[in-house]
Amino acid sequence: MATVAEQVVAKIEAAILANPLAEQISLDGQSVSMPAALAKLEYWRRRVAREQGGRPVVSTVDLSGCSP
């Protein structure tokens, strides 16, 4: 069974594929600009990856080359 995040990704992808050249698309009855829709898609894809364990929740930063 698909998680909520996976369902949202599928819904956004379907809306984008239905009108790939449109400036505005409809998501759940709301008009959203294409850049905003792509940003939402990226957010939800990251969330799916986190749920599946494919992406760390916290990023790591290498500070070995920094001097005080």
pLDDT classification of 52: cutoffs 50, 70, 90: confident
pLDDT at residue 60 tops 90: no
pLDDT at residue 56 tops 80: no
Q: What is the pLDDT of residue 67?
A: 66
Nearest to 37 by CA among 18, 24, 56: 24
Evaluate whether 17 touches 27 at the Cβ level (below 8 Å): no
pTM of the model: 0.74
Evaluate whether 48 touches 2 at the Cβ level (below 8 Å): no
pLDDT at residue 58 tops 80: no
For the chain, the structural domain boundaries read 4-51
